[in-house]
Structure 1
């Protein structure tokens, strides 16, 4: 299956970025907008083993790289542009379609944004700094020189480097992330962050990502309600 065009071209990782491919296609790709061997990194990428990454993530109660990317991309592609979390200008749509076990954050289609979002207490957060879906060769090129930072309440947070995992994405018609309502498979990669649930109160999270000429950034104000 070859994914049809229609999504926004370029990168959007916490600005999603995607070159979407069909089953078995590595060279025949089309651009569409939206954003693993796992390794800890503060802002730059370096290689690691995907097998050990999945095992480590599972043991620590974190989502494995392939699971995280599949679920996040499907979440990002689950809304049309008018209510899509990547196109969201102020955070008004950040709560849409959130699962119960993790709270996803989105980036932009290459712009800077400021968003305010309520976050449930005790739920971990997950988001990319910059990311992509394509073929294996696409991810090799993409990961050469990507960089990004996440700063939570003034302190830098380490990012995981995911260099290439098989992911499956489910999308709805009219979404600006993939531009298709088809379920497709591809290789996911990028810089990703998973955080434990935040303490009650207000938190600031600044996310920046860059890949080549593409850059994205979001300043989040996250408000966590006090537990009863």
Structure 2
């Protein structure tokens, strides 16, 4: 996956730019653990259902907010570049705490302190596309459809996904797919202000977790696409390794 631009990993595709951001754990270790002792399915309340709303925002709306959040970081401190969790608290606000993925160049383990009472939102595996230039209002519908269709190519072909929360496997993480219904202003809060704007769309698999009890928690997520006809930039077979240790309520030692 080549090419960096501004604060995210991006790759040119015709007149669009693609961002890949996903969370994956070491697949071999997951497979070994599953063979030795299959984990019990997580309780239904561990991951909130797709129809959940947090202050009026569902999975799709939160995914748009998540992408805007990544753009708030100064250059060199993008969420996917965080080596160990030292930047977890940057630009966090509101009732939902965002966690990020990696750029795919290394297997990263991060440790973060999360305030008590915060929901947690993070991608399993997902893609984002935005227009390279500002789009006039009358052209948005056609451009948006093109963005969404491009994103669906990989997300329709999810090969595998494994999620462990505190060592307990989440049942069928593929059901947590969320797509923005339309497109949103990539850099603003109002997508219908009547002016030209860079528009974006998101499609992928996400986790929305309820506030966790104080103490230490672990999140391990593994996923990969598998279209079999990967494009020249490699998004068709995207894979990463990722793990979080969360200290809810402050550091635990």
Flag the 1:205–1:34 CA change in 2: closer, same or farther, 3 A.
closer
TM-score for the superposition, normalised by structure 1: 0.68
Query: Does residue 143 of structure 1 match 2:155?
Result: yes
Counterpart-to-counterpart distance in 2, 1:156 and 1:221:
16
Once the 2 structures are TM-superposed, how far is the Cα of residue 187 of structure 1 from its aligned partner?
Answer: 2.1
Aligned residues: 179
Note the residue ranges of structure 1 that are not aligned, 5 or more in a row.
11-18, 21-26, 36-41, 43-52, 172-181
Query: Does residue 106 of structure 1 match 2:119?
Result: no
Aligned residue in 2 for 1:154? 167
Contact map agreement 2:217 2:247 (CA 8 A) in 1: yes
Contact map agreement 2:114 2:249 (CA 8 A) in 1: yes
Flag the 1:69–1:167 CA change in 2: closer, same or farther, 3 A.
farther
Counterpart-to-counterpart distance in 2, 1:62 and 1:200:
26
Query: Does residue 78 of structure 1 match 2:72?
Result: yes
| The one of 217, 223, 228 aligned to 2:241 | 217
Specify which structure has the higher proportion of strand.
1
Contact map agreement 2:20 2:127 (CA 8 A) in 1: no
Specify which structure has the higher proportion of helix.
2
TM-score for the superposition, normalised by structure 2: 0.62
Displaced runs of 4 or more, over 6 A: none
Q: Helix, strand or coil for the counterpart of 1:74?
A: helix
- Pair member with larger Rg: 2
Deviations 1:73-126 (A, max 9, x none): 011121134222211010000110111210000000113100000011111100
